[in-house]
Amino acid sequence: MDSFELNKIVGALLGTVFVVFSVTLVADALFAAHSPETPGYAIEAAEGNAGGPVEVEEAVSIATLLQDADPAKGEAAFRKCQACHTPEQGGANKVGPNLWNIVNRAIAAHPGFSFSAPLREFAAGGQEVWDYEHLNGFLLNPKGYVKGTAMAFAGLKKDAERADLIAYLRTLSDSPAPLPEPPMEETESAAAEGDQTGADAAEPTAEEAEAEDTEAGSEGDEATSEETSN
């Protein structure tokens, strides 16, 4: 092999190396991976109240709701329950127990009906009864009030409708249970409002006071005139 052929081979090799090296440099420049300033993934937290106290809407007392409840409307609302319960005295058990005398009846104790284990546990051996508070909580959210209950009813979310239904259930008895007294603070608030209304009514307005002063002045002038004439 002469020197000319050798130079051609060496030149071809050098050219190939140059091309490969150039392509590598260009590829690195185009597809370089840029590392983030901070390793890991940034997670955006949802905006909240910055850890402040969460305001919870205070539930209206069932004792207060029952003061204005309408049993007739409650009877209409009971249509949602008729597929599973009977209301009349001596009525048969269906998917759920008969509801005659339900108010203040021992929980999970109606004869002839097989209650779920969670409800029997909730009954605490007959110590718990279906008072107004328990009825209100259970009818609002059965599965939330008694975890694991077999009752499939979703509950009544409207306070007025729930109170009307409880007022109707109260009538399912020969001797309906007395209505609960409203909370003391509400009674005191109503009394205070009544006292304030009475005070406002007793206190004369500026026009009335001025009229009384004018009338008193007129009577005084008349008395003076009579004494002078005598």
Q: How confident is the model at residue 45 (pLDDT cuts 50, 70, 90)?
A: very low
- pLDDT at residue 69 in the model: 97
pTM over 0.85: no
- pLDDT at residue 128 in the model: 97
- pLDDT at residue 212 in the model: 59
Average pLDDT over residues 104-133: 95
Residue 208 has pLDDT above 90, yes or no: no
- pLDDT at residue 51 in the model: 46
Pick the more confident residue, 57 or 172. Answer: 172
- pLDDT at residue 197 in the model: 54
Average pLDDT, the chain: 78
Average pLDDT over residues 18-43: 60
Upper half-sphere CA count for residue 16 (Cβ side, 13 Å): 6
pLDDT tens per residue across span 70-114: 999 999 999 999 999 999 999 999 999 999 999 999 999 999 999
Domains and CATH numbers, the chain: 62-170 (1.10.760.10)
Pick the more confident residue, 66 or 51. Answer: 66
Residue 43 has pLDDT above 60, yes or no: no
